[in-house]
Structure 1
């Protein structure tokens, strides 16, 4: 159910919808529903959203918001990301309250994973 004035949906660009979908299915277990050849919606991610066909990518270098996943086992999640074709762009580092790393998925969107362990 949608909650008044709360974040409800997020959208990302993707230059390769098939590769992006396969990556998120393998690593995070997301499900997808296509709406034509240039848009796919995802579910089972903690927040629903979608990917639209575009040549752009989401990157903090360009001022984009950073979506951050939580993991109970940072190293295991990093290994899954790399096995599925993701690229680590900032290796695991510590910060007050935990550790995290940044990665890009096959379309080049930057995301991060953190852990308090």
Structure 2
């Protein structure tokens, strides 16, 4: 299993769910992925940390009772100075949804909305660096920005987070860049301007790994979730787009199907990114 013992600045380092129904979400995700949970207690707002094989893979917190925000997953990018990053992001056109705040002794966080309308978290690690396990069943395998303004998004994240995007495709039908240290890919940016429904804003999308996407997709419905798009196969594996029982969107992604995916690869259609 790929263990993550460090998270590089500017790259995804954590993801958590804000949910209107903690008990229901806990049951859904623990049964779907085999996760166990650690409860933080009142000191950290009863925040829940999901673990796989004893390694931290994601978190979960409760929506405020009067919140009108939809339940959703948030990706966090690692930074060395949360306050300086927020200042740079604001100057580059971002909206600050949550100003920098200390989370006990474990780190400092903030929530931004990038200039294209996608919320993104930032995390300055102190005692807690983030993911303990990645690229495995039951762990995050990809993070993806679906943006309505591709050029502005690339410019913003390059300027504020020091990204060095690598172009995967640059056509009007399919425009996609990846980020990551040399020889690695950890996240992608998809030009979704012509593909998202009118009511869907720019957003970051979390991919969670499973060994069998088809079986896991069936389990999602059995546990009260919804299948938005049935499994499809693309160059990088097999995927399905689903929600949990309260509507939080995420993608199931294969971790052991690469050989089959390569043999049966098809061009992705324009409805959704390839992952």
The unaligned stretches of length 5 or more in structure 2 are 64-68, 74-145, 147-199, 261-275
Distance change (3 Å), C-alpha of 1:44 and 1:72: closer
Contact 1:16 1:106 in 2 (8 A): no
Highest RCO, 1 vs 2 (Cα 8 Å, sep ≥ 6) = 1
Match in the other structure for 2:32: 27
Q: How many residues align?
A: 117
TM-superposition CA deviations, 1:52-75 (whole Å, max 9, x none): 111432276343321112333221
How far 1:23 sits from its partner (Å)? 0.4
Classify the secondary structure of the residue corresponding to 2:60: strand
Match in the other structure for 2:149: none
Q: Which of 32, 52, 56 is the matching residue for 2:70? A: 56
Q: Relative to structure 2, which stretch is displaced further, 11-20 or 92-101?
A: 92-101
TM-score (norm 1): 0.79
Inter-partner Cα distance in structure 2 for 1:11 and 1:102: 18
Match in the other structure for 1:95: 234
Classify the secondary structure of the residue corresponding to 2:233: strand
Contact 2:7 2:13 in 1 (8 A): no
Contact 1:10 1:47 in 2 (8 A): no
Match in the other structure for 1:109: 248
Inter-partner Cα distance in structure 2 for 1:43 and 1:76: 21
Q: Which runs of 4+ in 1 moved over 3 A?
A: 59-62
Q: Tell me the C-alpha RMSD between the 2 structures.
A: 2.6
TM-score (norm 2): 0.37
